[in-house]
Structure 1
Amino acid sequence: MGGWSGELLLGLVVLLGATVQRLAGIGFALVASPVLVLLLGPHDGVTLANFAALAISAIGLAGSWRQVRPRAMLPLMTAAACTVPAGAWVAATVPEPELLAGIGVLVTAAALLVIRGVRAAALRGVGGAVVAGATSGLMNSAAGVGGPAVSLYAVNSGWTTGEFVPNAQLYGVVVNAFSLATKGLPGLSAPAWGLMATALAGGAVAGRLLAARVSERRARTVVLGLALAGGLSTFVKGVSGL
């Protein structure tokens, strides 16, 4: 990524991701991770997605922590913590073209599964929480997209949107903190970090304002459409480098 134009594009991507996350409760990584990976490469792109998703989740959690259900989230978070190191190992050892293609496949598949609202007995109860958490931790650390597995668990457990959003924000803080502790922070310049902070704050405000004007269904449609486009672009970029 070179010069102010690259940093500005990076800021716009983070702004968009933060806006949709604050609007729909999920979506930062689905929308932003593929583009960040294309701009910064797999390592810095994924770790920046982890950092930004943690930050925007923390902002949302500050206003909704009273609705969190820690006991329900504990199996998810514990299972995720166990698989985050494996995801970090994958990200560190797989060659870049293969990793780009893999990230593209994961993002595309995750978006399609959420669109279909897959129902499965394996995604219910404590066992379902462990399966979802383990899958999410691996995907979050390797590709920056841990949310869809948790979303599918919530759908199969019958959670309402009001129940899902605050708990997803808690999960986002915890799993991304584990991922960053394993891999470290992305290597950005000081001006780029300042731009990221501004974009995250702007996205939090914009998402909150839009939430009163845009239906949840429409917001999720936009999120998942952008995720599909980004996932397919990343896959093509990876395959072209093989």
Structure 2
Amino acid sequence: MAALIIGLIVVGAAAQRMAGLGFALLVAPFMTLLLGAHSGVLLVNVLGVISSALILPRVWRSIDWGMFRWLGAFAVLGSVLGAWLATLFSAAVMAVFVGAIVMVALGASLAISGNRFTTEPKAPRAAAGFLSGLTNALAGVGGPAISAYAVLTRWPQATFAATLQPYFILTGGTSVAAKLMLDPGGLPQTDWWFWIAVLLAVLGGIAAGERLLRLVTPTQVRRFVIILAFAGAAASLLRGLFDLFA
């Protein structure tokens, strides 16, 4: 199991470096299958913070700090609410949430991609941040809400990808802190070497992502992430439904 988790982390970190998001989208559905919903989502939150923190220095100059402040402020509110809600549901219900949230959010962002707005209005920023924080805490995936907002508003890819790194550090860190306060034993029990392997896997994924950036376009990367995310979400959804009705 550890080898599979490390492999998922490498792929997720590579996608995160290329597209700005994708780590949680790729990893969260499979982590819930391997570790259970509560521990899996919490571990994804921790790993997402690590991944974004390591990417951050490489994209620092492209960050839109004004956008980050708006999204981040409301995402914190959503993260706290989501962390509390996550303690109220069973593992099976959480697995269904993980799968359904990813599939619906991704489907919506694709369906509305033809309608274009601007990034100027503040209310859509606030709504996107709140929903992203909520789903990040509840299901380990905060990217779809922000991705849908970016598609709608033509947010430039380079700035979008860069701004998401401090944003994911903030939302992931808030979710982790809130969950550990509510449930100090929430993280899966692992040996010390697991975290060293995780760090190396993230670094390896980032390095691979930087190499792949020279070979593929951002559009191709996003398509790849969406396909894998749909597959993982479907697996998580089906497992949760099976556990609920078996």
Tell me if both proteins adopt one fold, taking TM over 0.5 as the criterion.
Answer: yes
* Residue 142 of structure 1 pairs with residue 138 of structure 2: yes
Equivalent residue number for residue 190 of structure 1? 192
Once the two structures are superposed, residues 50-87 of structure 1 have per-residue CA deviations (whole angstroms, 9 ceiling, x without a partner) of 11111111222111212212122212101011121211
Once the two structures are superposed, residues 126-181 of structure 1 have per-residue CA deviations (whole angstroms, 9 ceiling, x without a partner) of 10111001100100001011011112222223211111111111211111111111
**Range moving further from structure 2, 190-199 or 123-132:** 123-132
Amino acid at match of 2:132: S
Equivalent residue number for residue 3 of structure 1? none
For structure 2, list consecutive stretches of 5 or more residues without a partner in the other structure. Answer: 181-185
Checking the alignment, whether the CA contact within 8 Å between 1:106 and 1:143 is kept in structure 2 is yes
Checking the alignment, whether the CA contact within 8 Å between 2:25 and 2:229 is kept in structure 1 is yes
Supply the distance in 2 between the matched residues of 1:79 and 1:229 (Cα, whole angstroms).
Answer: 30
Aligned with residue 218 of structure 1, among 206, 220, 228: 220
Checking the alignment, whether the CA contact within 8 Å between 2:102 and 2:144 is kept in structure 1 is no
Equivalent residue number for residue 199 of structure 1? 201
Supply the distance in 2 between the matched residues of 1:73 and 1:157 (Cα, whole angstroms).
Answer: 15
Checking the alignment, whether the CA contact within 8 Å between 1:123 and 1:152 is kept in structure 2 is no
Identity of aligned residues (%): 32
CA RMSD of aligned residues (A): 1.8
Supply the distance in 2 between the matched residues of 1:110 and 1:55 (Cα, whole angstroms).
Answer: 24
Supply the distance in 1 between the matched residues of 2:159 and 2:46 (Cα, whole angstroms).
Answer: 24
Equivalent residue number for residue 38 of structure 1? 33
Instruction: Quote how far apart the aligned CAs of 1:228 are.
Output: 0.4
Amino acid at match of 2:82: G
Amino acid at match of 1:130: A
Instruction: Quote how far apart the aligned CAs of 1:111 are.
Output: 2.1
Checking the alignment, whether the CA contact within 8 Å between 1:122 and 1:131 is kept in structure 2 is no
For structure 1, list consecutive stretches of 5 or more residues without a partner in the other structure. Answer: 1-5
Q: Given the superposition, is the C-alpha separation of residues 117 and 201 from structure 1 closer, same or farther in structure 2, using an over 3 Å criterion?
A: farther
Q: How many pairs were matched up? A: 237
Instruction: Quote how far apart the aligned CAs of 1:211 are.
Output: 0.6
Supply the distance in 1 between the matched residues of 2:117 and 2:221 (Cα, whole angstroms).
Answer: 28
Equivalent residue number for residue 49 of structure 1? 44
TM-score normalised per structure 2: 0.91
* Residue 153 of structure 1 pairs with residue 149 of structure 2: yes
- SS of the counterpart of 2:87? helix
Instruction: Quote how far apart the aligned CAs of 1:93 are.
Output: 1.1
Q: Given the superposition, is the C-alpha separation of residues 204 and 40 from structure 1 closer, same or farther in structure 2, using an over 3 Å criterion?
A: same
